């Protein structure tokens, strides 16, 4: 149980294009999902919190107009990197919060490697 | 969210038991302790979660002293495939209905297992 998928796993795009990444909770419903970014040899950094049916909450320094988040259902959140540039190249990871009995646990997707040429 | 401190790296050998300790002096009453494992170019994998005393599952044990200011992840009989980065995180595990916090990842512990 508690499986989170991401699609695509890898994407290469030209500078200026937009890229959409999907995050799905496969066997549980997640009212809250999170998007992280990880640069080489660094730890994960939280970008935004995605709430089903409402606007996402962005961390300080993350441009909401550049990283569009939509959480249209209890099992799907999407991150769209608009007008991508080489500095946006990174490993993007989503997580979904499973409201278990007593403790909430975040389960992570396998990640999406974005390379902007 | 409580800040955590872990060793940057550890080395061990196949078949040994490995204990990784994490300090979280500012842990709050509602906070749970969660450990994740991450391999290169993969998302973190949930290992174990606990609130107090001892928790054990099929892959690890988690020891939490009474003051909860630290915790120790114990990996029994490690193998080469356990080479990875291990993250200790502390956060509010009790759903409050008022939203949720993303996790603040520290640098983690890079565990290297040698033959």
What is the average pLDDT across A1-7? 90
The pLDDT assigned to B40 comes to 94
Which string of DSSP letters, residue by residue, matches B1-28?
A: ----B--SEEEEETT--EEEEEE-TT--
Q: Which residues of B touch A91 (CB under 8 A)?
A: 41
pLDDT reading at B1 higher than 90: no
The pLDDT assigned to B97 comes to 33
Give, in order, the Cα–Cα distances in Å from B78 to each of B16, B19, B34, B75, B82: 6, 10, 20, 6, 6
Contact A43 B106 (CB under 8 A): yes
Q: Which residues of B touch A104 (CB under 8 A)?
A: 32, 92-95, 100
Give the model confidence (pLDDT) of B11-61 as tens digits: 999 999 999 999 999 898 888 899 999 999 999 999 999 999 999 999 999
In total, chain A counts a number of residues equal to 117
Could you tell me the pLDDT band of residue B2, with boundaries at 50, 70 and 90? low
The pLDDT assigned to A102 comes to 58
Could you tell me the pLDDT band of residue A94, with boundaries at 50, 70 and 90? very high
B41 → closest Cβ in A34, A59, A91: A91
pLDDT reading at B96 higher than 80: no
Of A46, A104, A114, which to mutate for an interface test with B (greatest number of B Cβ within 10 Å)? A104
What is the average pLDDT across A65-85? 94
Contact A105 B94 (CB under 8 A): no
Contact A54, A77 (CB under 8 A): no
The pLDDT assigned to B30 comes to 84
Token pair belonging to B102: 């993303």
């Amino acid at each position: 149980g508690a499986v989170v998928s991401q699609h695509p796993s890898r994407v290469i795009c030209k500078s200026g294009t937009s890229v959409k990444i999907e995050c799905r909770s496969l066997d549980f419903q997640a009212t809250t999902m999170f998007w992280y970014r990880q640069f080489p040899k660094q730890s994960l950094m939280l970008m935004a919190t995605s709430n089903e049916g409402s606007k996402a909450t962005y961390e300080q320094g993350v441009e909401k107009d550049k990283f569009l988040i939509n959480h249209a259902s209890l099992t799907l959140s999407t991150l769209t990197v608009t007008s991508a540039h080489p500095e946006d190249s990174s490993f993007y990871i989503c997580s979904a919060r499973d409201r278990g009995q007593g403790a909430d646990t975040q389960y992570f997707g396998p990640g999406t490697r974005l390379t902007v040429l | 969210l409580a800040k955590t401190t872990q060793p940057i790296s550890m080395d061990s050998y196949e078949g040994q038991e490995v204990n990784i300790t994490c300090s979280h002096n500012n842990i709050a009453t509602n906070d749970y302790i969660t450990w994740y494992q991450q391999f290169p170019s993969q998302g973190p994998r949930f290992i174990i979660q606990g609130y107090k005393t001892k928790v054990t599952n099929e892959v690890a044990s988690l020891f939490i002293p009474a003051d909860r200011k630290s915790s120790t992840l114990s990996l029994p009989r490690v193998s080469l495939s356990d080479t990875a980065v291990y993250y200790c995180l502390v956060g509010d595990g009790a759903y409050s209905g008022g939203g949720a916090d993303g996790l603040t990842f520290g640098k983690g512990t890079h565990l290297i297992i040698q033959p």
